[in-house]
Structure 1
Amino acid sequence: MQPQPPYDLRPADDDRPVTVDRREGPYGEVVLRRRGDGGPSGDAVFEIIANGCFLMDTSDGRSERLLIRAALRALPADRPSPALLIGGLGVGFSLVEAVAEPRWGRIAVVEREAAVIDWHREGPLAAVTAGALADPRAEIVHADLVAWLRTGPRAPQTPQSYDALCLDIDNGPDWTVTEDNDGLYSPAGLAACAARLAPGGVLAVWSAQPSPAFEESLRNAGFTQVRTEEVAVARGVPDVVHLAVRGA
């Protein structure tokens, strides 16, 4: 096992963010920052920044949890042990929400940043997801989601389809972290998502703002029951979850 980096968990003197860890990877720079007390009081807020773009933090998590709940609500109640794919590990709220629901069957999380996986397995974010990662239904797949959707797992014992795809790798279809992620919301990318869904399966996509253009793209890709659920925020435009169902 390679040694872990020396995470900076010293208490901050003020509200300025403290860089806990910084990595350079194949997709650019990824940073874990902390605001507030890093000591035992537990009120520190951790933030993930990719190439200077704020992705998410541990201050709330309502919209990440709604992503999972909305997908489950959209599935038929009599579908046994539905398989779930989560695109993006982030700060772990979506995974924690998923394992808290006994109805889910196998839960796979595809995360392309090795640093993010490290922060959860042995770093500061282990406090958020240690219990979830120990759940026997859960697995972490280190891969680029866009490429993985097109190629998929190679192991013959691994199911090739899922009942729900919950995607949270960008700030939304109109605001991607890297240019390569644009392909996920293109006709080819949506076709790849549909191919990974079982008939009647649900695609749920988190976004920092509504995207009527993406809703139209979903309809053009053959998805049905396209709709958007809002998540109220303290200020500004609500977060949303775009939902769509693959036809039979």
Structure 2
Amino acid sequence: MARFTEIGTATIPGNGTRLRLLQRNDEFSIKIAGTTGELMNSRVHGSEDALATLACERIADQPSPRVLIGGLGMGFTLAAALAALGDDAQVTVAELVPEVEAWNRGALGAAAGNPLSDPRARIHIGDVAELLRSSEGEWDAILLDVDNGPEGLTRKENNWIYSPAGIAAAQKSLRPEGILAYWSAGPEHAFTERLRRAGFSVEPVTVRALRPGKGARHVIWLAW
């Protein structure tokens, strides 16, 4: 069996954590240097797809829908959002690590079908928190997959996204009838209640990492 080969590295701004991009034939993996576990694998993206599909199907009939995605990753959430929306949509992805954009415009891009090449896609290099703080009534859907979930793994600053202040900023950024969605590696009742206390109706949806009925169970919170 072929072995993974490192084809790229990147440092997460602000904390020095190093990411490694690995390739084995047509399979890609992103890991944190010095650990054995994976952050992402190109063969396991069912829940990333679901993050986009579950939210975008609720706004697909909106005229010229605008979607904000926090976290580019391997591009699967972006690809699923574009597939669910019409030609008049615009999808902006905020990605903190510049090299991740470069990876997706290079060899990695083929894994998700090169969604950054779609004219409806936009990229913002920087923290999605910047866009949440600066926008008001701008987005029909906000999809947040910036860490492992409400308990941040890769960067402590990500915890703000899941805090009452971060939730309030996202709420302010939504258009009327907009939808807010969060990805998480697992359930957390306290976060469900935090969203409800902010005034949202909330539906935590359990999805599978690989495909329906297969893979680890992840959670998508839908809030409106």
Superposition deviation, residue 150 in structure 1: 1.1
Provide closer, same or farther for how the CA distance between residues 14 and 105 of structure 1 changes in structure 2, counting only shifts above 3 A: closer
Pairwise mapping of residues 175-194 of structure 1 onto structure 2 (< 5 A)? 175-194=152-171
Letter in 1 for 2:11: E
55, 62, 73: which one aligns with 1:71: 55
Superposition deviation, residue 55 in structure 1: 2.0
Task: Measure the CA separation in 2 of the matches of 1:131 and 1:48.
Answer: 17
Which residue of 2 is the match for residue 169 of structure 1? 146
- Could you tell me whether the CA contact under 8 Å between 1:81 and 1:106 is conserved in 2? yes
Provide closer, same or farther for how the CA distance between residues 115 and 216 of structure 1 changes in structure 2, counting only shifts above 3 A: same
Q: In structure 2, the residue corresponding to 1:60 is in which secondary structure? A: coil
Is 1:82 the equivalent of 2:71? no
Is 1:54 the equivalent of 2:38? yes
Task: Measure the CA separation in 2 of the matches of 1:144 and 1:60.
Answer: 25
Provide closer, same or farther for how the CA distance between residues 192 and 47 of structure 1 changes in structure 2, counting only shifts above 3 A: same
- Could you tell me whether the CA contact under 8 Å between 2:137 and 2:176 is conserved in 1? no
Task: Measure the CA separation in 1 of the matches of 2:110 and 2:2.
Answer: 23
Which residue of 2 is the match for residue 119 of structure 1? 103
151, 157, 164: which one aligns with 2:134: 151
Task: Measure the CA separation in 2 of the matches of 1:215 and 1:131.
Answer: 34
For structure 1, the residue ranges without an aligned partner over 5 or more in a row are 1-12, 153-158
175, 180, 183: which one aligns with 1:198: 175
Which residue of 1 is the match for residue 13 of structure 2? 26
Task: Measure the CA separation in 2 of the matches of 1:192 and 1:50.
Answer: 29
Superposition deviation, residue 78 in structure 1: 4.1
Tell me the C-alpha RMSD between the 2 structures: 2.2
Superposition deviation, residue 151 in structure 1: 2.7
- Could you tell me whether the CA contact under 8 Å between 1:174 and 1:211 is conserved in 2? no
Provide closer, same or farther for how the CA distance between residues 23 and 79 of structure 1 changes in structure 2, counting only shifts above 3 A: closer
For structure 2, the residue ranges without an aligned partner over 5 or more in a row are none
Residues 59-105 of structure 1 deviation map (CA, whole Å, 9 limit, x = unaligned):
12111111111002334x64223211111000010111122234361
Superposition deviation, residue 115 in structure 1: 1.0
Task: Measure the CA separation in 2 of the matches of 1:147 and 1:132.
Answer: 23
Which residue of 2 is the match for residue 243 of structure 1? 222
- Could you tell me whether the CA contact under 8 Å between 1:21 and 1:32 is conserved in 2? yes
Letter in 1 for 2:30: I
Q: In structure 1, the residue corresponding to 2:92 is in which secondary structure? A: strand
Superposition deviation, residue 160 in structure 1: 5.8
Provide closer, same or farther for how the CA distance between residues 25 and 100 of structure 1 changes in structure 2, counting only shifts above 3 A: same
Task: Measure the CA separation in 2 of the matches of 1:97 and 1:177.
Answer: 24
Q: How many residues align?
A: 215
Task: Measure the CA separation in 2 of the matches of 1:208 and 1:163.
Answer: 24
Residues 12-55 of structure 1 deviation map (CA, whole Å, 9 limit, x = unaligned):
x644x432212234242121122x33xxxx3xx21122464632
Letter in 1 for 2:28: F
128, 143, 163: which one aligns with 2:111: 128
Scaled by the length of structure 1, what TM-score is found? 0.79
Letter in 1 for 2:97: E
CA radius of gyration, larger in = 1
Q: In structure 2, the residue corresponding to 1:79 is in which secondary structure? A: coil
Scaled by the length of structure 2, what TM-score is found? 0.86
Provide closer, same or farther for how the CA distance between residues 160 and 134 of structure 1 changes in structure 2, counting only shifts above 3 A: farther
Q: In structure 1, the residue corresponding to 2:102 is in which secondary structure? A: helix
